[in-house]
Chain A
Amino acid sequence: MSIEPFEVPSISPERLALLKEKLKNAEYPNELEKDVGWTYGAPRWAVEPLVKAWLNDYNWETARAEMNRWHHYHVTIQGLRVHFIHEPSKSPDAIPLLLLNGWPSNFYEYHKVIEPLRDGANGGQAFHVVIPSLPGYGFSEAPKLTGHNVSKNGEIIHELMTAIGYNEYVTHGSDWGSMIGKWIAQERSAHCKAYHTVMPLCLPPLPTPTHLFSHPLKVLKFLASISLGFDTVYGKGHVRLKGRSFADVENDREAGYRGIQGTRPYTLAFGLTDSPVGLLAWMLEKFHNWTFHPSGSRDTVALPETISVDEFLTQVTIYWLTNTMSSSTRLYYEAFHDEKGMKDMMWNPVKIPTGVAYYPGEITKLAKEWLEASMNTVHYAEVSVGGHFPSLEVDELFVDDIQRFGKLIKTKKYIQ
């Protein structure tokens, strides 16, 4: 397995010219005459200024110079060229840390935290930082065959860590990274020694024999909450769980994108690939809906104050440049069609030490008891600001939380 160094490329003059031409010739949808905020989706008043910024102000070279401060590589695993960043620490106490992002994000989500984590900022724990691009995302090759689901990603990412030379490591994940990280925590526990997530996904304490034996009170409380309501039993806001399933839009109005991406990603991809405006709008809706906005401003802004236009446009440009919106959405299809695999991941416990940090803007929140019943929860934090992309929105708090988890893992010798 040869590891080849890689440099984030410039955009060729032809491709840049094509992008700018498409942005200049943008055709906008018709909308209702009155402003309906974000209730129908991303409004033109939010999308158009960003399109103009992308056309007139955005400079890929600035982000590229930043990205090329880190060491990038490619390695072929199971026939796919996988891109990753590897920033080993100088600190002798550093532990290997795998950071896994989700959709519609990419490795750049971690751009502000790579160096602080690597260097043990503020005297905290230091890490050897590894950030892969999932197959089909960023600079990784897209899967070639059907069936490239969560467990396949988990296998490949674990093999990546081995290829780099880390026999033991800690995994952090958000969004899809949370699911893939959970699989790694469950299936590669000889090597993944601890699991940290901001979006834990597990089942409540259902009345199974195991649960009834270990946590009878948790089970009772959960059963009570079914009739009395989550807020009554667990306290207001401690459980945020709309819709009981992956793509049931009748229960969860946010799940429309999963409904289409989980069933017809090919058809969706044409508009999101041929039109940079289509791509930008599709991503903007999530960067708006899933992030933390100080109260009152959500309906009148596009991005939250914590995410700059350049940061957002860099993430969009990576998708554009690599033509990966299509392949990235196919992960939803594969997961949706892997009923057994997903069910197992949700059902099965996580036995390795687990850390959870909840940011208030995160789209799903489960009761702490549920996490404790199903995962070996040794670290739990509720942060007061930030949302689905905490390393972008509140990078210092994110670093601090990861460092504290890392220090705990190191001190208790869960990892050598």
Chain B
Amino acid sequence: MSDIEPFVVPSFTPEQLALLKDKLSKPVFPNELEEDYGWEYGAPTWAVKPMATEWLENYDWEKPRAEMNRWKHYHTTIDGLKMHFVHEPSSNPDAIPIMLVHGWPSTFYEFHKVIEPLRDGANGGQAFHVVVPSLPGFGFSDPPKTRGYGVAKMAEILNSLMVKLGYSQYLLQGGDWGAIIGKYIATRYNTNCKAFHTGLPYCLPPLPTPRNLLFYPFKIAKFGASLLLGFDRVYGKGKLILNGATFANAELYNGCGYRAIQGTRPYTLAYGLTDSPLGLMAWMLEKFHEWTYHPPAKQDIQALPETISSEVFLTQVTLYWLTNTMSSSIRIYYECLRQKEMYKVVFPRVKIPVAVTAYAHDISRLPQDWLETATDLYQYSEYESGGHFPATEESELFTEDVQRFGKILHDKKIIQ
């Protein structure tokens, strides 16, 4: 345990700040079509330019930095990599350990509104010992030095981190890559990971396996029917969002172009996203726009949803900029594609207790039937708002849902 070193989120050096401001003050914008086509072609200048101006003129890193430094940060070396994490143990005697795992293009900061409520058992709900790591190659964690750091390697590192901190049993909450790595941990490290809470389960449908035939014959039949009659007819409109069920075939799902390029040529893409803060910010803005919940009337005419302030968004962007980690963060797509890891994630059944949240707008959604056959589903909630970053967009709903699941785990002694 001796190599756990405290860490303080740093300020910009004067040189770093001058460089960022210099680059932001001399932007060259792309040419676009003369008519406004909303977000059809990607992030439009009318959305990017004001955000860039905001970043240059109004954004003050010191404010979120002070917020971040309210929590205790550390570095420790695991598998040769310096891993950053936040560790906020609870003073509540009933608290159970939780690891909150972010994805891309996010960071540990995604959880900034929920760390303290979860730690303190807000509203009389379950309390947690909160651990929030930065994935290798993201934020303040070192980037991997060699190839091969895909889902499997990251899962090993994250599980080792919890064990190293003394949490031999814990709940894992994850979205995006946190959900993918989380599911991998939930199926392969269930000695330590005792429960899994996510908004993005990656599961198979109810196929006619021996187990399913025995326990869920009706679900199998329903799935079969849905293949013939259509998913919406059988499961209800919007209950199944597969988006092509593809990792990187842009022909099946035109929202996965970023996975197509990040999964094959991360080096080439990285130059524009590293040398130009505008390039970086636009690349992230598209996701913070597209993957979040907007009231339908506002979807095409605003950049960020009302639930994410420009300060919160720019803090995420600045974390990537300051640490030069956009280039390393996107390489997880390459590693996962190259090793065909998605099969290893999707196929296995989760045998530990699972809680799934279906927010109003996320990149995929599965019917409860599928979750019940593929996991040990303890809790399922549907929400009328929130999207891909629920801890940021709907922090109270998120906290309450995690607490509800945590209480079951505590009371049933699933996590000691």
Contact = CB atoms under 8 A, between A and B. Distances in A.
Contacts, number: 239
A145 B271 contact: no
Contacts of B33: 142-146, 330
Interface in B24-51: 26-35, 37, 40-45, 48
B257 A264 contact: yes
Contacts of B278: 270-271, 274
A344 interface: no
Interface string A260-272: 1111111111111
A274 B275 CA distance: 9
Contact of A270 (B26, B43, B271): B43
A275 B276 contact: yes
Interface stretch (A82-90, A110-118, A240-248, A295-303): A240-248
A264 B41 contact: yes
A332 B261 CA distance: 14
B263 A32 contact: no
A207 interface: no
B143 interface: yes
Interface in B337-372: 337
A170 interface: no
Interface of B: 19, 22-23, 26-35, 37, 40-45, 48, 143-147, 246-251, 254-276, 278-283, 285-286, 324-328, 331, 334, 337
Contacts of B247: 250
Interface in A272-325: 272-275, 277-282, 284-285, 323-325
A265 B286 CA distance: 11
The CB with the most chain A CB atoms within 10 A, among B29, B279, B324, is that of B279
A184 B218 CA distance: 57
B401 to A, nearest CB: 32
Nearest to B22: A25
Contact of A257 (B251, B256, B265): B265
A248 B34 CA distance: 30
When A and B form their complex, which 7 residue pairs have the shortest distance between CB atoms, in order from nearest? A271-B272, A271-B279, A278-B272, A259-B260, A29-B327, A41-B267, A266-B42
Nearest to B282: A270
Interface in A13-62: 18, 21-22, 25-34, 36, 40-44, 47
A266 B273 contact: no
Given A142-B31, A259-B248, A274 B261 contact: no
B146 A264 contact: no
Given A32-B144, A267-B286, A274-B23, 9 more contacts: A250-B246, A250-B247, A255-B264, A266-B32, A267-B42, A270-B48, A281-B268, A282-B272, A285-B265
Given A247-B260, A256-B261, A26 B275 contact: yes
21 contacts: A28-B271, A40-B265, A41-B267, A143-B33, A145-B34, A145-B35, A249-B249, A250-B248, A256-B248, A260-B258, A260-B261, A263-B250, A266-B42, A270-B29, A270-B48, A274-B272, A274-B278, A282-B268, A282-B272, A323-B30, A326-B31
Contacts of B250: 247-249, 258-260, 262-263, 336
B195 to A, nearest CB: 33
A262 B282 contact: no
A326 B33 CA distance: 10
Contacts of B265: 40-42, 256-257, 285
Contacts of A41: 264-270
B251 A245 contact: yes
Given A247-B260, A274-B278, A32 B272 contact: no
B249 A263 contact: no
B328 A270 contact: no
B276 A266 contact: no
A159 to B, nearest CB: 21
A333 interface: yes
Given A30-B327, A33-B145, A263-B250, A42 B41 contact: no
B147 A36 contact: yes
B325 A278 contact: no
B331 A40 contact: yes
Contacts of B334: 40
A404 interface: no
A327 B271 contact: no
A325 to B, nearest CB: 7
Interface of A: 18, 21-22, 25-34, 36, 40-44, 47, 142-146, 245-250, 253-275, 277-282, 284-285, 323-327, 330, 333, 336
Contacts of A265: 41-42
Given A41-B267, A259-B250, A273-B30, A31 B327 contact: yes
A246 B30 CA distance: 25
B48 A29 contact: no
Contacts of A247: 249-251, 257, 260
A42 B23 CA distance: 23
Mostly helix, strand, loop or mixed at chain A's interface? Answer: helix
Given A42-B268, A281-B271, A249 B325 contact: no
Given A248-B249, A248-B251, A260 B22 contact: no
A61 B72 CA distance: 57
A351 to B, nearest CB: 30
Contacts of B22: 25
A278 B279 CA distance: 9
A13 to B, nearest CB: 15
Contact of A267 (B28, B144, B251, B282): B282
Contact of B271 (A18, A269, A271, A325): A271
A274 B279 contact: yes
Contacts of B325: 30
Given A146-B35, A323-B30, A253 B264 contact: yes
B264 A28 contact: no
Contacts of A144: 33-35
Nearest to A18: B26
A323 B28 contact: yes
Nearest to A261: B257
Interface centre among A30, A33, A44, A266, by most B CB within 10 Å? Answer: A266
A259 B261 CA distance: 7
Nearest to B37: A146
Max chain A C-beta neighbours (<10 A), residue from B28, B325, B328: B28
A273 B267 CA distance: 17
B248 A30 contact: no
Contacts of B143: 30
A146 B269 CA distance: 25
A249 B273 CA distance: 21
A263 B279 contact: no
Nearest to B256: A259
Nearest to A325: B30
A51 to B, nearest CB: 9
B264 A249 contact: yes
Contact of A43 (B248, B267, B281, B337): B267
Contact of A27 (B267, B275, B285, B337): B275
Contacts of B40: 146
Contact of A264 (B29, B34, B286): B286
Contact of A278 (B35, B37, B251, B273): B273
B269 to A, nearest CB: 7
A44 B270 CA distance: 10
Contacts of B272: 268, 270-272, 274-275, 277-279, 281-282
A249 B29 contact: no
